[in-house]
Structure 1
Amino acid sequence: MEQEFEHTFLKIRGLNIHIAHKGEGGSGTVVFLHGFPEIWYSWRHQMVAAAAAGFRAIAPDFRGYGLSDQPPDPASASLDDLVTDLFAILDALSISKAFIVGKDFGVRPAYQFAISYPNRVCGAITLGIPFSITSFSSAVKSPGFYISRWREPGRAEADFGRFDIKRVVRTIYILFSRSEIPIAEEGQEIMDLADSSTPLPAWFTDEDLAVYASLYEKPGFAYPLQMPYRVSKTLGITGEPKVEAPSLLIMGEKDYVLKFPGMEEYIKSGMVKKFVPDLEIVYIPEGSHFVQEQFPQQVNQLIITFLKNHSLSK
């Protein structure tokens, strides 16, 4: 499937940023923003569907991820960089307005872009994480919580460094497709939570794993762990911001994120709509944190319906 896409490198703020793209865009443009440890390839199914529906599908590798350059000073990384990069990518491609789709930590720059540049956004779609001005993960107090572990400089690098890249990606996909939050016991590391005998999820093939591993050969994991887990600055969201663009939240019912204290209530009670008034929420039964790869047909149908309902060419 990887051969179905075109690839371009854009000079963005001094870095070569890689984008994969597909489709002519008669109906508009859709930009897909990945999470961790994902790269552009995690959107392969959605890009094919969007292009077939008449849209131009674009999926960048964030700075420091995949085939994109790593910034010279990782310690100064900021999520604001991703918002500014997105603005520059749209300008470089002469795209005046686009749909923004975000997954995992890609949700944060997606919504910040929609708040900062509402005239550049047709609509926002997020998967796995809703818009929020607070961090639900901070309520998980266990010292073995994966985010707590990965925030420690050098700890995840040492943990990951015991294995080859393919084994690291494989283990993360196994752990984070489960419904329970990955938490290590005392004396145990996150990579120890799944061994080599644990099978990959049925929807993630050996070919997919090989593509991921090849795309991590260049950057490694040092910068991806910095962004998003160790960023010194957060997005400048103040007060009670409103996302005015029409929005869609897709959640897998078995997504471990729903186990973060307060998360499920925040979504199901409608509290999230205080900040995103024009929001549709859809749950996919049995869906995991990787729902767009696990159930691509269902996710594609939801995305394409949303795009067509809010397309500029409608």
Structure 2
Amino acid sequence: MVEHRMVNVNGVRLHLAEQGEGPLVVLLHGFPESWRSWRHQFGPLAEAGFRVVAPDQRGYGRSDHPADVEAYSILHLVGDVVGLIRALGEEQAYVVGHDWGAPVAWHTALLRPDLVLGVAGLSVPPPFRGKEPPLAAMDKAFGGRFYWNYFNRPGVADAEFARDPRTGLRKFVYAASGDAPGPVKQPLVDPERGWLAAMRDPETLPEWFTEDDLDALTESFSGGFTGALNWYRNLDRNWELTAPWAGAVVTSPALYVYGERDLVPAFPGTPELIERLPGLMPGLRRPPLELAGCGHWTQQERPAEVTAALLDFLRDCQSR
């Protein structure tokens, strides 16, 4: 049974869900999600002999939402994972992340490999620091219309999501899923209309995302969206802060999983990076796993396949 509690980490209170006993597995959600994005993985991983913990990361759900934008840098987020491992009384952990949780997981392995028994990323591939700040690069490539740039307009996306959170989240989840029709496109935003206005509002939700799931997700954003959006407002600052690790690679045992119809692996330069990963990542346990027909929400859209891949990876790490 999943249990809930609060822990103090690095000056913030984090809400976490946990189940099971054994080696620690930390599951990190993305945007716009919560610990519940891992609801299908808790039982199987716990039954397989692991202690499974999924926090609401800072700025999300019942965890603290610091007011300072700079409190959401990648160093703060990695610090939360390191502090969480310690607060749980553990010395090491397996770290798994989806969407924004993936860069946090990858950077935890990059910056603190002594703590990471294995790292898995879903949707977002391992970090390879570019030659220029990411917001500037996307601004040049798409004339300021890439969603990262839109999210960096103070208060704008915050207000758009907050106007009708339930409808906005329903449209967003559907639009980024493998169920949405049409080709996968770059996530560009009309700066006058906003992002959600252009998204189709589905008549029915996909089978894997119920009305109860939508209710729970909506409730998790009752405190607003600013904390979650502040993660994006640190993209260029993260580029500056990680300069000492330019050229460094993740050496921990690693797994990368992504959906065939996920918009993130289609970002400029990402398909080429995915092809090169086996040669770039010394700890990659298998070639990147592509899930046919799957969209962005990997562990929710394809729970059985993702759980099986994670269990195979964890057992492989334990056997070595």
TM-score (norm 1): 0.90
CA contact (8 A) 2:162 2:225 kept: no
Could you tell me whether the CA contact under 8 Å between 1:75 and 1:231 is conserved in 2?
no
Deviation digits for residues 135-158 of structure 1 (CA, Å, limit 9, x no counterpart): 678445143322221111121123
Determine the structure 1 residue equivalent to 2:249: 242
Give aligned-pair identity as a percent.
Answer: 32
**Structure 2 CA distance for partners of 1:199 and 1:229, relative to 1, 3 Å:** farther
Superposed CA RMSD in Å reads: 2.1
Q: Structure 2 CA distance, aligned partners of 1:202 and 1:145?
A: 30
Equivalent in the alignment of 1:123:
118
Describe the SS at the equivalent of 1:94: coil
Measure the CA separation in 2 of the matches of 1:232 and 1:141: 17
Note closer, same or farther for the CA distance 1:70–1:187 as it changes in structure 2 (3 Å cut): closer
- Give the 5 Å matches for 1:1-314: 4-25=1-22, 28-134=23-129, 138-139=137-138, 140-163=141-164, 165-177=165-177, 178=180, 179-185=184-190, 187-217=192-222, 219-230=223-234, 233-234=237-238, 235-237=241-243, 238-268=245-275, 270=276, 272-273=277-278, 275-279=280-284, 280=286, 281-311=288-318
1:16 match: secondary structure: strand
Aligned AA for 1:13? N
Structure 1 residue identity aligned to 2:94: F
Q: Deviations over 1:61-83 (max 9, x none)?
A: 11111110112423443121111
**CA-CA distance at 1:159 after TM superposition:** 1.8
**1:302 shift after superposition:** 0.5
- Residue 282 of structure 2 aligns to which amino acid in structure 1? P
Paired with 1:126 and 1:88, the residues of 2 have a C-alpha distance of 20
CA displacement, residues 229-249 of structure 1 (integer Å, 9 cap, x when unaligned): 445621525231121111000
Q: Which moved more, 1:104-113 or 1:172-181?
A: 172-181
Seen in structure 2, the aligned counterparts of structure 1 residues 156 and 104 have a Cα distance that, compared at 3 Å, is: same
Cα drift, residue 126 of structure 1 = 0.4
- Residue 277 of structure 1 aligns to a residue whose secondary structure is coil
Deviations 1:181-223 (A, max 9, x none): 3323464211112244543333111010011111111x31011
Instruction: Give 1:21's aligned amino acid.
Output: E
- Taking a change above 3 Å as real, the CA distance of residues 186 and 244 of structure 1, as seen in their structure-2 partners, is closer
In structure 2, the CA distance between the partners of 1:228 and 1:47, relative to structure 1 (3 Å rule), is farther
- Paired amino acid for 1:233: R
State the distance in 2 between where 1:209 and 1:197 align: 13
Label 1:18 to 1:76 Cα distance change in 2 as closer, same or farther (>3 A): closer
Native 8 Å contact 1:76 1:232 kept in 2: no
> What amino acid maps onto 2:193 in structure 1?
Q
Gaps of 5+ in 2: none
Unmatched segments (≥5 aa) in structure 1 = none
**Separation (CA, whole Å) in 2 of partners of 1:22 and 1:186:** 43
- The 8 Å contact of residues 33 and 110 in structure 1, kept in 2 or not, is answered as yes
Secondary structure class of the residue paired with 1:63 = coil
Deviation beyond 6 Å, 4+ runs, structure 1:
none
Contact 1:240 1:275 in 2 (8 A): no
